[in-house]
Structure 1
Amino acid sequence: MPEEIACKTEHLKNDFRWPKDRRLAVIFNVAYEMWTPGNFSTVNPMGNVLSGDIVDPNADSYGRYNANRGCRRLFDIAERHGVVTSIFTSGLVAENHADHLKYLADFGHEIIGHSYGQNLLFPYLNEQEKEDNISISTKTIEHATGQRPQGWISPRITSDLDVQRRLSRHGYSWHGDALDDDLPYLQRFSDSEIMAIPVTIDFNDLPHAMRFGRTPEQFVQMFMSTLERLLDSNRETLILDVIVHGHCYGRPAGAWAFEEIVKRCSQEKELWLTTRGKIFNYARPFFGA
């Protein structure tokens, strides 16, 4: 039987606001990902991969576009508009593109642990593999950037309380493996604590394009409509995540949609353009000791 993990949660008060009394925080997230050798993205432009254990070169090549080209286009867009992003980073990226990751960290982008490889999902790993995945990912990122990552978001947001406690024991301050609230909450274990900063998944290019077959125009329209209505209502304190992948909207046909949203948000004074690390630093004093 799995060990039952005791975890107490503490939530923010209803009158919580972001800095300068703002209601909406916007985070631009870029998934900078790689797969371990012999593994590859299960998403490809043909809509299906080859059956059985056959390696599909189409899907493999499609996924490799992420680190080779797509993410660089997305970072360039953000930087031209003076926006820093939160980067979901595979440990393999830190090993194979260390100089680029160091540049991104020095620019001010937030580097987030995101498993050693995109195919290494916690539900498939045994106890030792879970520990190794966190440890190796953390060390490779720190070696590449000179900074130990403070936050973690798992591929597919697939950690559980066991993994979240492991992250806290490894020194992580926060994780984004939560979909069950709108605002941060504190998780207290018997020997450690970690802040859960939930991810909003409404504006994620992969399911938008691959699962639902929607266009970049619809991506922009959905975001803009939501933003205008939330600004008009001004009733709730929320986080809006925009999530893009280098192998999906890092391509020319989708990158312009990301730029349209970045441009609009960078011009809106009522928004707090931020990262989860900054949210942690701001929100932590609102919780008890």
Structure 2
Amino acid sequence: MQLEYRPEVKRLDRSFRWPGGARVGIIFNLAYEGWSEGQTPGIGPMGNPLKPGYFDVNASSWAHYGPTRGIWRALEIAARNEIRMSVMVNGVLAEKWPETVRAIHQGGHEIVAHSYGMDVIPVYLDEAGQRENIKRTTQLIADVTGEVPTGWISPRGTGSTIHSALLAEAGYLHQGDCNDDDLPYLEQYGDRAIIGLPLTMDVNDLPSAIRYGNNARSLLQQFEDTLVACLERDTFPLFFDVTIHTHVYGRPAGAWVFGEIMEKAKSTMGVWIGTRHIAAQHAKDVLARATT
């Protein structure tokens, strides 16, 4: 099949509502991240990268907190609040820590494919490499959970000019390598389609703590301000993400804020809380009805 890499895009209008009639949606994401053998995060908690060519044992150890402790703490917080998360999972984690990926699935959370490793970014790969990475990551997760993932977010939220089309070809329902809308939208590539579901960065622990040096309480304030802005100062339908990383706010000093945000979201009238899969399927159904 000859792919069409420039999609026909169909967007939702201001009449759109989330399930139950809510104008505002909230999605809780957990970034559960791993790196290929011999690779580490580009920067560690100290904030200053090493000279090129040296293995950063500090950054490597920092990242390994995710599968060791952070994932379990985050799953416990979600279970206590009875909230289903969308969990970004790298294929390497299904390969090396399958028990953690199995626990995510058994907890009722959506697993969103997150490339093989955080160092495997689609834009750096040719078309064949992107196809292989999609296939490999999808299969590793499916082998552990018994279920094929329906959503994809690339490391850094950076796909490529053709990656969304390749995901549509592979049967994915939604992808989050976009941030150009307040709502999901449909990307049609010939006879294949995929929902673009923006990954919002306003309430996210990694830029807040690592890039800007804020403490956990500031993320709570950011959530509260965003919620007020969406409910009281805006009239358009929209959604926003609340995201933490297992190796960042999966630690006690930050994890508490994830739980407190969940509690505040649950107690707020007029918001819908759900997973990226449910959001994407709902938007797809609404758009399908609008064209019939």
Q: TM-score, normalised by structure 2?
A: 0.94
Q: Which stretch of structure 1 is more off in the superposition, 147-156 or 157-166?
A: 157-166
Measure the CA separation in 2 of the matches of 1:59 and 1:107: 29
**How many Å apart are 1:100 and its aligned residue?**
2.6
Q: Which residue of 2 aligns with 1:230?
A: 230
1:217 alignment partner in structure 2 = 217
Partner of residue 92, structure 1: 92
Q: CA–CA distance in 2 between the matches of 1:236 and 1:191?
A: 31
The aligned counterpart of 1:200 is 200
- Provide structure 2 residue ranges, at least 5 long, that are not aligned to the other structure: none
Work out whether residues 152 and 175 of structure 2, in 8 Å CA contact, stay in contact via their aligned partners in 1. yes
Native 8 Å contact 2:23 2:238 kept in 1: yes
Deviation (angstroms), 1:88: 0.4
Asked whether 1:22 is paired with 2:19, we answer: no
Quote how far apart the aligned CAs of 1:97 are. 2.2
Secondary structure (helix, strand or coil) at the match of 1:104 reads helix
Where 1:27 maps in the other structure, the secondary structure is: strand
2:37 alignment partner in structure 1: 37
Flag the 1:131–1:224 CA change in 2: closer, same or farther, 3 A. Answer: same
The alpha-carbon deviation at position 155 of structure 1 amounts to: 0.7
Please tell me the residue identity of whatever aligns with 2:111: I
Query: What is the one-letter code of the residue matched to 1:154?
Result: S
| 1:240 match: secondary structure | strand
- Cα distance per residue 1:241-275 (max 9 Å; x no partner): 01110111111111111111011112224221101
Q: More deviation in 57-66 or 3-12?
A: 3-12
Determine helix, strand or coil for the equivalent of 1:181: coil
Q: Distance in 2 between matches of 1:129 and 1:188?
A: 23
Deviations 1:96-148 (A, max 9, x none): 22233223212210001100011101121122221111000000000110000
Query: The residue matched to 1:6 in structure 2 has which SS?
Result: coil
- In the alignment, does 2:289 pair up with 1:284? no
TM (norm. structure 1) is 0.95
Distance in 2 of aligned mates of 1:223 and 1:285: 29
Measure, in 2, the Cα distance between the counterparts of 1:4 and 1:105. Answer: 34
Q: Is the 8 A contact 1:91 1:115 kept in 2?
A: yes
CA distance in 1, matches of 2:229, 2:131: 43
Q: Could you report, residue by residue, the CA deviation over 1:167-220 in whole angstroms, capped at 9, with x for unpaired residues?
A: 011110111111101111111112411110111111111111111111111111
For the residue of structure 1 that corresponds to 2:87, the secondary structure is strand
1:240 aligned partner: 240
1:1-289 aligned within 5 A = 5-233=5-233, 235-287=235-287, 288=291
Percent identical residues: 38
Q: Is this contact kept in 1: 2:4–2:190, CA < 8 A?
A: no
Shift of residue 43 of structure 1? 2.5
Q: Please, which moves more after superposition, 261-270 or 21-30?
A: 261-270
- In the TM superposition, residue 70 of structure 1 has moved relative to its aligned partner by 1.1
Q: What SS does the corresponding residue of 1:75 show, helix, strand or coil?
A: helix
- Give the letter aligned to residue 274 of structure 1: G
Question: What SS does the aligned partner of 2:240 have?
Answer: strand
Give 1:153 deviation, angstroms. 0.6
